[in-house]
Structure 1
């Protein structure tokens, strides 16, 4: 799950698409090209419209560009980087990215966002990022996402994550109690879905899954590090956003977030 987006082509607007067998057709209140009739009582017409939309021009579903922008954690990290770098330097980008699925960005604002993306991408130092890594391989296991309070693992009894003060495990009480915290530590899986964490001679056993298993043997030695990030480090989100903005500018159609 995450943020996806697309930009319509101009085939319908420029009357290059085959005629729709039902109508009226137009843009709905959410910016989608739609059959402007209620679903109830018009199901056959809506199905005919869907078939037409999929086949009426060379673009699949009349989408000039369709992109998976990022998962939500990646979007939040990008938003966090924009704030750290100075939201006043990237005001359109800071305001444009949605916090939930839905909405749109006009072609005029997309043109401004495109210039901001270029400025962001060429910034040599954006922010310091806090990461939990496997010390043996350097693989990143977690990243600090401010709006999530650093939490990345949710269990029935505990939640775990990483923040500028290190890796932490909290219970699910209200208010939560810190069960374990360390900047560098080892972990060892135990029977019955328990994990032993050790740091500085202190041993803590908790009922939870190992950190960083993801279908692989979980790492034994873990550490929290801080490293500087540049605009190039965010290419995973900048490039799909660039393609969307370019398509919006060239067609005059908005970016539809979905």
Structure 2
């Protein structure tokens, strides 16, 4: 699951679309191009409208000039976290524009301001420091600290695990939870019966869970938590689709539609 967005083309507004076989058609209060229906809902009319819009109404698929996968939600949360760490006063329109759930829109006049803020982010050498759990042997990132998720990334019937600025941790599912294991640098060894032995500083802890960072391959034997400086380039995965969406919004005068 994640955040997607699009910007409508101007074919309907500029009279370039083929006539809709049913009508009237217009933008609703939320910014969606829709069939304007009076009275009771008419499913047949609605189906005819969507067949037109997603068919040969204009050269653009679904009448969308630009359609983008912005990011999965973890990526969105990491970006929001970076904006807060950098100081939301530096990128106020962007910080306010990113939604916390699917739905809503960004008007074209605000998209123009967001576009300038995205350019500023792309050229920033250091935005924030990010906490990561890495495989010591390869340097590959296994987990990242997402504040909105309280660092949690692994869940099971009797445990929950994650990473935060104080290290990797495993908690039980009691209320309140009890810490079963915590370390900044540690080893892990898979045991029979879906159990893992964690070692750190001379201590050994066995937990009923799958190994950390397994992902269908042999899991890392040694892991460590590090803090790494992140630049604007590190957030290109979300900055670039947002830039394309905002540029299309400015060009058409139509809002960015979050979905």
* Cα distance change, pair 39–65 in 1 and its aligned pair in 2 (3 A): farther
**Partner residue in 2 for 1:7:** 7
Gaps of 5+ in 1: none
**Partner residue in 2 for 1:48:** 48
* Cα distance change, pair 219–39 in 1 and its aligned pair in 2 (3 A): farther
The CA distance in 2 between the partners of 1:39 and 1:201, in whole Å, is 73
**Partner residue in 1 for 2:231:** 230
The CA distance in 1 between the partners of 2:124 and 2:39, in whole Å, is 48
**Partner residue in 2 for 1:166:** 167
Gaps of 5+ in 2: none
* Cα distance change, pair 140–53 in 1 and its aligned pair in 2 (3 A): same
Aligned-residue RMSD, C-alpha: 1.2
1:63 paired to 2:64:
yes
135-144 vs 35-44, which moves further: 35-44
Q: TM-score, normalised by structure 1?
A: 0.97
* Cα deviations by residue, 1:163-186 (Å, 9 ceiling, x for unpaired): 000000011111111110001111
Helix, strand or coil at the partner of 2:87: helix
Runs of 4+, deviation exceeding 2 Å? 36-41
**Partner residue in 2 for 1:201:** 202
The CA distance in 1 between the partners of 2:24 and 2:73, in whole Å, is 36
The CA distance in 2 between the partners of 1:152 and 1:40, in whole Å, is 46
The CA distance in 2 between the partners of 1:44 and 1:102, in whole Å, is 25
Contact 1:157 1:171 in 2 (8 A): yes
The CA distance in 2 between the partners of 1:53 and 1:91, in whole Å, is 35
**Partner residue in 1 for 2:18:** 18
1:183 paired to 2:184:
yes
